[in-house]
Amino acid sequence: MRPSATDPRRLVRTQQRLWELLPERFAGVALSPVTPLGTCSAVATINQHQILTTMRGTEVASDPTNELAIEAAVRRRAGQARVDLAACQRVVRAQAPDGPGMFAHFELFALVSSARDTGSGRTEAEMLIDHLRFWHDVLGDSAELTYTTFTQSAVRERIEDTVRPALKTDLVEDTARTKSAGYYSGTALGIASNGSGLGDGGFTTWTADLLGDAKERCLTSCISTEWLTAISA
């Protein structure tokens, strides 16, 4: 419940820059500070004990990507061919912060894209290009973007022949990464700047599960706006 140590005036400037750089294809969403009970534990794999649960069948928002995935599934079911959403949200985690400068509440800027598979990893490649281009635009020449393939698929081939050639920056394979191997499905992303980790992302089965369609593809990525503000000093 203690306030963040980040100067809110600097944080607002960071937020404004992120929104200004966001491509037109991404629809901005002002998420609710509460979400249906079980959102994170049912949509993703977060233990409910880490979520601040209310007494009215809801929980305090703890991850904007989960909420955006639900909204993406709603829009996909309504007939939208591809859904691209973005949100900036302060979230709360119930577990104790595990290090200096860490807080139980923090702000994340997140992207979620969802569309039906068209075969050979082409849908995944298109979404990867849009997400990675945005994070490069945000971080500039200091961007350190990585990917890890936890399971072999056509996506790895598309990274080599489609994604990398479309980017203005290097996309480095992180073969040592094991973090979030059970959270992301197939391929995960890392987002850093000058050695400072800012966030990550990857493909999930969230919209596929919500829509009951194994051909549905969903890519999420997000960064901490407070860490970005701190390293931008």
How far apart, in Å, do the first and last CA atoms of the chain sit? Answer: 25
Assign residue 174 the CATH number of its domain.
Answer: 3.30.930.10
At CA 67, angle to CA 66 and CA 72, rounded to 5? Answer: 95
d(CA 64, CA 33): 10
Residues 6+ apart with CB under 8 A from 156: 121, 149, 187
Residue 3 in any domain: the answer is no
In the chain, the amino acid numbered 27 is A
d(CA 127, CA 207): 14
Residue 194 in any domain: the answer is yes
Residue 161 in any domain: the answer is yes
Label residue 2 by pLDDT band (50, 70, 90).
confident
In the chain, the amino acid numbered 89 is Q
Residue 192 in any domain: the answer is yes
Residue 106 in any domain: the answer is yes
The string of pLDDT tens digits covering residues 68-112 is: 999 999 999 999 999 999 999 999 987 666 655 567 889 999 999
The string of pLDDT tens digits covering residues 36-79 is: 887 877 787 777 777 888 888 899 888 999 999 999 999 999 99
Residue numbers of the domain that contains 119: 8-231
Residue 39, CB half-sphere, CA atoms under 13 Å: how many?
25
If one counts the domains in the chain, the total is 1
Residue 1 in any domain: the answer is no
